[in-house]
Structure 1
Amino acid sequence: MISVPTASPFHPISTPPPPVVLLLAMTDLIMPASTPLLMHSKLRFSSPLTSDSGSDDSTTPTATPAALPSSSLGSSTSGGNVIPRPTGAQLRVKSCDIIPKDLREALRKRVKALASQRLDLTAPYSKQDKEALRLVESIISTEFSWLLNYQDQWPLQVFLTALLKYKKSRAEVTKMKKVTEALA
């Protein structure tokens, strides 16, 4: 009679090894590729911060100028310690969440006050008078000196663009309401 070993219900179940896909995502392969089920225990982890060899310069990834955002190539604020413009949804107010809330709110209120005094609120950012825009941007950048820490002072442009877009849409809605009231 052959006895088949069975696992005890009281014996802790060991977890299976992590999938190979997760292991391959952030590690260097030391062994040539083979069957994934046989390979997971043969992978050697190497930290990207430490190196086994003497020089790590040849393996350090660097961004090519074509891979950099176009705004970072001709930056007016040249310096090594500026906060770059975020990639992706660049001109969204959500991208300014890295700024502390009290500074963000103060900037938003000041932008709103200056824009209502000096800019045409029925026109978008791209159609604004360039002199008036430069004046508003210079006034705000002198009041909020921490904006110089940001590449091309992009939070200011984000708040100005968002405010002008909102005010333009509200002006169009108000105009349509007046037209419908006049027709009724």
Structure 2
Amino acid sequence: MIFVTSDTHFFDEHLLGITDFAVRPFLLASMMNETIIENWNKVVAPNDTVYHLGDIAVHFIRPERKSHQDVYDVLKRLNGNLVLIKGNHDNRALFKYLAKHNYEVNGKPKFIFHDVGALIKYDHRQYYLTHYPLMLGIAPKIINLHGHIHHYAVNAKENINVGVDSPEFDYLTTKPKFGQPLSLVQVEALVEAKKDDYLKRR
């Protein structure tokens, strides 16, 4: 199966509690990390693929190598092959570290990297996966899955925020637990529900 997520912000103490960007009721970043890992592995199987749309972690410690090692250790615990799309908090040095320490899972690299975005097709629809929301104009068969804006949403039916703090999960009958990536089946349901809501409000 294919899953999507964004903005896990592992190790990010600035997002703990109630902030302008998210509501993450954890006392410690380590508690948040463990919750995301546990909830992720409840839905993602070892042979699945997860597109992570940026802002993997915010972990400013020295030496930088130790920061990269900590993030690597967390990502190794996540089920599935990870397709990593660079976010504004993901530096090139981290990606180089992950590439240097890459290994195979299911006959493929554990980590695959994209600087800008990726295009996938599912059920007669194209999904353009990016960190930042894109304004695609009139493109009825293309949906932009993105992160970056945390608990905000773009007022356009073609843009879906799939970050772990997304308010658009309210469109789903069953909301994912914190940190759980969305399956493409859930994404399709979210797209249709947002479109219906958008058309009602016009």
> Aligning the two structures, in what range does the TM-score lie when normalised by the shorter sequence?
under 0.3
**Higher alpha-carbon Rg:** 1
Structure with greater proportional strand content: 2
Could you state the TM-score of these two structures normalised by the residue count of structure 1?
0.23
Structure with greater proportional helix content: 1
